[in-house]
Amino acid sequence: MIRLEEVSFHYPSKPLIFERFSLEIGGGEAWAVLGSSGCGKSTLLYLAAGLRTPTTGRVCVNGAILERPRPSTGLILQDFGLLPWATVEENVRLGFKIRDFYGPDGKHTPETTPPAEVEERVELWLKWLGLDPVRGQYPGQLSGGQRQRTAIARTLVLNPDLLLMDEPFASLDAPTRENLQKIVLQLRQENSLTSVIVTHSIEEAAVLGQRILILRNRTNRSAEVVENPGAGGQGYADTDEYRRICSRLRESLGEPA
């Protein structure tokens, strides 16, 4: 699904974040990217989304070199990215307007989604994510959890095959965060999504990532991956295996056990 081939990247006048870095993420896999602030987590996600271009090397998605953002890639950001002047329903519909303008190939080839299909999918996700009662409200009138569910609905209404999430639950309270984590797990399992979540939370990485990539606050030259096949299973967070994985991740990151 995603393949980074000998990728190097740095920002102007900054040290290399990645140097000849290679990584392969298979279709349908659930990954978490873990590390402290400034280690390159978000940069890696933006490279996979086509929002950043490698200094050298290349990024491929489904065997094609990534030269621009893909219409079939869903991206959920920490700050939600909602239009403050648009209602919940209008924000959820936004993706259709953008994709219909640029077309399915992302090269400004207009293609109109049938109105009946738009209505069906918007209604489906508004109801599935519990947003129907607030569909006419604006982001400023919503709770943090409602805003995040709106951002999730706006992304999933387009039926992406790849879901990229940049610390989407970091600013939420614990009960809301846990509820949305369960929603993401269910969505991934029911829709066979390939998912990558960037997080600084060891516990979140262990819950959501069946494979966990650890990045360091230095130039990353090789992929350090912790296998966590039990992630996503019912009650996994109450198991000894989950606690063992969390301890291993803390040790790897140099945090107290």
pLDDT of 104 strictly over 70: no
Q: 81 φ, ψ to 5°? A: 70, 30
| H or E segment and range at residue 59 | strand 56-61
Helix axes 88-102, 144-156, angle to 10 degrees: 30
pTM: 0.87
Q: What tens digit of pLDDT does each residue of 3-61 get?
A: 999 999 999 989 999 999 999 999 999 999 999 888 999 999 999 999 999 999 999 99
Q: What tens digit of pLDDT does each residue of 127-160 get?
A: 988 899 999 999 999 998 899 889 888 988 888 8
Lowest mean pLDDT: which of 54-58, 130-134, 240-244, 250-254? 250-254
Domains of the chain: which residue ranges?
Answer: 1-72+162-179+194-229
Fold classification of 1-72+162-179+194-229 (topology level): Rossmann fold (3.40.50)
Residue whose C-alpha is closest to residue 196's, from 226, 166, 220: 166
pLDDT of 235 strictly over 70: yes
CA distances from 98 to 3, 61, 109, 125 (A): 26, 21, 11, 18
Residue whose C-alpha is closest to residue 88's, from 130, 131, 119: 131
Residue 60: the pLDDT is: 96
| Token pair 């009960």: residue | 175
- Cβ-contact 63, 27 below 8 angstroms: no
Q: Of all residues in the chain, what percent carry a pLDDT higher than 70?
A: 93
| H or E segment and range at residue 253 | helix 240-253
Name 226's Cβ contacts closer than 8 Å, sequence gap at least 6: 211, 212, 214, 245, 248, 249, 252
* Residue 124 DSSP code: H
